[in-house]
Structure 1
Amino acid sequence: MVDTLSLLVVSPEILLLVMACVIALVDLGVTSRLRGLTYWLTLATLAAVAVLTADAAIAGGTFYAFGKMVVADPMANWLKCFSAIALMVTLVYGRPYAADRDMLRGGEMFTLALFALLGMFVMISGSNFLLIYLGLELMTLCSYALVALRRDHEVATEAAMKYFVLGAMASGFLLYGISMLYGATGSLDINEVFRAIGSGHINHQVLVFGLVFIVAGLAFKLGAAPFHMWIPDVYQGAPTAITLMIGSAPELAAFGIAIRLLVEGMIPLAPDWQQMLVLLAVASLLVGNLAAIAQSNLKRMLAYSTIAQMGFVVLGLTAGVIGGDTHNAQYAYSASMFYIVTYVLTTLGSFGIILLLAREGFESDEIADLAGLNQRSPLYAGIMAVCMFSLAGVPPLVGFYGKLVVLQALVASGQPLYISLAVFAVVMSLVGAFYYLRVVKVMYFDSPITATTVSAPADVRAVLSINGALVLVLGILPGGLMALCADAIVKTLAT
């Protein structure tokens, strides 16, 4: 018999699963072009899930369920809450775009999005290697289908094929690494693996061999170089609404499994995986920032920008354990968590503007398409400018504080290597500022190509305004979110 506690722990997942099935059935009777009933039911489900997980996170407890295969701790609950909110915002921005491109003939976009979110929830709460892998597969299979949702669009279909082939390879890496660890430790339970590695009785070379494959799989999901090959093509080729869907909430889930696998499961091997992450971070900052300069396509530029931003997230993960001492862990990992949450917030805003400007037969995905936006709509130009400045790390926006806390964590380690990495990251941020500021220059100083006014549905306009305001407000008053991330990481590491 399944005990009541186990069912309570997975209640958000149960709600998501039941409502995804209900919405799929209800949608059969919906005939409107914008799928109104399906849309509002989906948003209501996501809002309920976000409230449920936020409530559990505020309570602050850590609970295990189903034989310790599932864990609900503050970090998991907050990441789930932010993932649900990110998906809500994505659907608000993406519905008009999807309707114009005949992507809402059925309710697949909404049901696949809910199932993808269910996969993310399983990844974030998995305390067992196999469960994490199952969650990952559920999320990625839904993502492949979403990218190919425009069935008659060659570029989207090609992007889906590339994503599928490279995603399958990355899943294989992760699964092979997990099988090596299982062979060495005799367990798939993360806590058992931690104890087995800590005992010192297992061949170190076998562990490191498995670790290499796990880090490679994680780097692919995070989009860190040199495992970034899929990001530019998929971001550019996928319908913009789907690009936002795979570039926001899944990043939070990828961060969650990185903490579960590397920190909770293999922190005794930190000297080994931190070296690998240092190389990934340097490569990501270098490749992302230099390649983005050459891009004229806005979605492709933001794809390379994502690779560079992930370099900062990975940098935070490298500085947790210094010479076997974990005193810096809570600062480093909470800085990374803060960075990824605020990065997702900013990405939602920037892609929201691209979706808003797109219309039937016109994608608005070239940087030149933003020319003179300030003359056509000062509000939307202002929101886009705030997002670009934030990604560039300009104070007082939230992106600046995100970069600052990661750099502080590196410098606090007191190690020459990490201080050098902090300096390198600052230099790369200066390089990155060029392509972000170019977008602002085009919006404010170039002549508009078209005189059409920019209009948006009331829900899109309201959410975009809140999104832009949060990027500014959280930069001026970052303490609350930073304290939330620090508390979540401290409580997670304490268990």
Structure 2
Amino acid sequence: MIDNISWLAVYPEIVLLVMGCVIALVDLGVSSTRRTATYVLTLLTMGVVAVLEGMYAASGNTFYGWGNMVVSDAMGNWLKCFAAVAMMVTLVYGRPYAADRSMLKRGGELFTLSIFALLGMFVMISANNFLVIYLGLELLTLSSYALVALRRDHEGSVEAAMKYFVLGAMASGFLLYGMSMLYGATGSLDIGEVFKAINAGQIRHQVLVFGLVFIVAGLAFKMGAVPFHMWIPDVYHGAPTAVTLIIGGAPKLAAFAIAMRLLVDGLLPLAIDWQQMLAVLAIGSLFVGNIIGVMQTNLKRMLAYSTISHMGFMLLGLMSGVVNGTVDATAAENAYSSAMFYVVTYVLTALPAFGVIVLLAREGFESEEIADFAGLNQRSPLYAGVMAVCLFSLAGIPPLVGFYAKLAVLQALVASGSGFHIALAVFAVIMSLIGAFYYLRVVKVMYFDKPLTASRVSAPADVRLTLVANGALVLVLGLLPGGLMALCADAVVRALAS
């Protein structure tokens, strides 16, 4: 018999599932080419779910449901709240772009698939069982494949979707194979039971590490870490920019969550092994992301390599929680909360950056080359200012929130006292300095180059207000980062205690 706690743990997921089906049916009767009714219903659904998750998170309660397969804790609830808000912002930015390219003419799949993608993220974040993680992951990735191919008549989108599908299927196979190895070794799919079985020390270490390698490889693909990053530049570039927004934002929160669930909650006794793997992934991601990013002339590809480098930074936070095989509560709290803070602020900053690219795109013209931003300040000082704030934050320039995110990760590395971690911190700083070049180059083009066109940049009121609020939040959280840092720290402490 299923108890009330089990239902309570998945109420937001139930709301998303039911409303996703309802909106798909309602959309059949919508004749507007902008799908206004579908759009409003989708935003209302995501808004209600975000409020629900915020209430759950604020209560600070942790409870398990469905035979311990699902967990509702402060960390997961805040991540789901942020993911829902990020998806709402994404759809506000992306709707005019999609309407101009006839992506909404045939139906409102952009909105219904976004809801199911968000449901997949929620399932991933709440999962306390290998199969539930995989279920959520596949729901997210299958929705993402369809979204990338949404412009069926556009060669670049179809090619990007095919690449994403082939590589994504391979990565899902890696993750599933790693999970099957751990299931065979421990006899359980429950993350808590896997932890107990490994901690008992009666399982052959070689078998566990073999499964761990495949799990880390699967996670690295979902995050876009080197050398599993091949899909990121091609998919970001080829996908419609509105869809690039979707796959480049909220899913990063879900990827962080499953990394925490699998590596920290389930495989912490193997930390000395997975830390070495994460270190290699982080070094490669920082190097490739920043060095190759400098060479890009296409802004979407540049931001794709930027994503790779930022995921490298987040991995540095994840790997610094255990020092020499010893778990220290304070070090773990600082490390994992800094990684959570980093991924949340990255999504917050990346959304308006892609939003400005979407805004500048006109019907029949994709404004995605760096040269297309020439003289943007003369055409629209407001949007140039928002883009500059985002780029400065991504570069880690104070007093913007990106600076404090990088600082938090570097402090966690240095505080561990490990010489290797300190060397990694120095390497990360050097790579960030190199990466700052390609952000500042775009700012230079916007403010000092002559515009290619004299036309003003216009946007619907909802897009304009959201973009300004989003950019302002990047600045305000940079000036006052303490509240979000404390929230992340409290969420991680409660998650580790449970």
Task: Tell me whether the two structures share a fold, i.e. TM-score over 0.5.
Answer: yes
Deviation string for 1:366-396 (max 9, x for gaps)? 0000000000000000000000000000000
> 2 CA distance for matches of 1:111 and 1:159?
21
CA RMSD of aligned residues (A): 0.5
> 2 CA distance for matches of 1:222 and 1:330?
22
Q: What is the one-letter code of the residue matched to 2:55? A: D
Aligned to 1:76: 76
> 2 CA distance for matches of 1:148 and 1:326?
45
Aligned to 1:2: 2
**Does 2:209 correspond to 1:208?**
yes
> 1 CA distance for matches of 2:20 and 2:125?
19
> 2 CA distance for matches of 1:53 and 1:208?
35
Matches within 5 A, 1:134-145: 134-145=135-146
Q: What is the one-letter code of the residue matched to 2:244? A: T
Matches within 5 A, 1:114-263: 114-263=115-264
Q: What is the one-letter code of the residue matched to 1:145? A: A
> 1 CA distance for matches of 2:154 and 2:352?
26
Aligned to 1:447: 450
In structure 2, the gaps of 5 or more residues are: none
In structure 1, the gaps of 5 or more residues are: none
Q: What is the one-letter code of the residue matched to 1:128? A: N
Aligned to 1:49: 49
Aligned to 1:352: 355
Matches within 5 A, 1:299-378: 299-327=300-328, 328-378=331-381
Matches within 5 A, 1:461-480: 461-480=464-483
Q: How much has 1:444 moved relative to structure 2?
A: 0.1
Q: How much has 1:246 moved relative to structure 2?
A: 0.3
Q: Secondary structure at the match of 1:29?
A: coil
> 1 CA distance for matches of 2:314 and 2:128?
22
Identical aligned pairs, as a percentage?
74
> 2 CA distance for matches of 1:353 and 1:435?
17
Aligned to 1:21: 21
> 1 CA distance for matches of 2:290 and 2:251?
22
Deviation string for 1:48-80 (max 9, x for gaps)? 000000000000000100000000000100000
Q: How much has 1:324 moved relative to structure 2?
A: 2.7
Q: How much has 1:4 moved relative to structure 2?
A: 1.6
Aligned to 2:268: 267
Q: How much has 1:178 moved relative to structure 2?
A: 0.2
> 1 CA distance for matches of 2:41 and 2:4?
27
Deviation string for 1:17-40 (max 9, x for gaps)? 000001001111111111000000
Q: How much has 1:5 moved relative to structure 2?
A: 1.5
The TM-score normalised by the length of structure 2 is: 0.99
**Does 2:437 correspond to 1:416?**
no
**Does 2:406 correspond to 1:384?**
no
Q: What is the one-letter code of the residue matched to 1:338? A: F
> 1 CA distance for matches of 2:134 and 2:70?
13
Q: How much has 1:2 moved relative to structure 2?
A: 2.1
Q: How much has 1:323 moved relative to structure 2?
A: 2.0
**Does 2:403 correspond to 1:400?**
yes
> 2 CA distance for matches of 1:440 and 1:178?
45
Residue from 422, 426, 431 that aligns with 2:429: 426
Q: Secondary structure at the match of 1:296?
A: coil
> 2 CA distance for matches of 1:2 and 1:32?
43
Greater Cα shift, 286-295 or 323-332: 323-332
> 1 CA distance for matches of 2:327 and 2:198?
16
Q: Secondary structure at the match of 2:450?
A: coil
Q: How much has 1:326 moved relative to structure 2?
A: 2.0
> 2 CA distance for matches of 1:455 and 1:368?
19
> 1 CA distance for matches of 2:336 and 2:278?
13
Q: Secondary structure at the match of 1:33?
A: coil
> 1 CA distance for matches of 2:233 and 2:65?
39
> 2 CA distance for matches of 1:369 and 1:481?
35
Deviation string for 1:226-248 (max 9, x for gaps)? 10000000000000000010010
Q: How much has 1:325 moved relative to structure 2?
A: 2.4
Aligned to 1:103: 103
Q: What is the one-letter code of the residue matched to 2:169? A: A
Q: How much has 1:484 moved relative to structure 2?
A: 0.3
**Does 2:41 correspond to 1:38?**
no
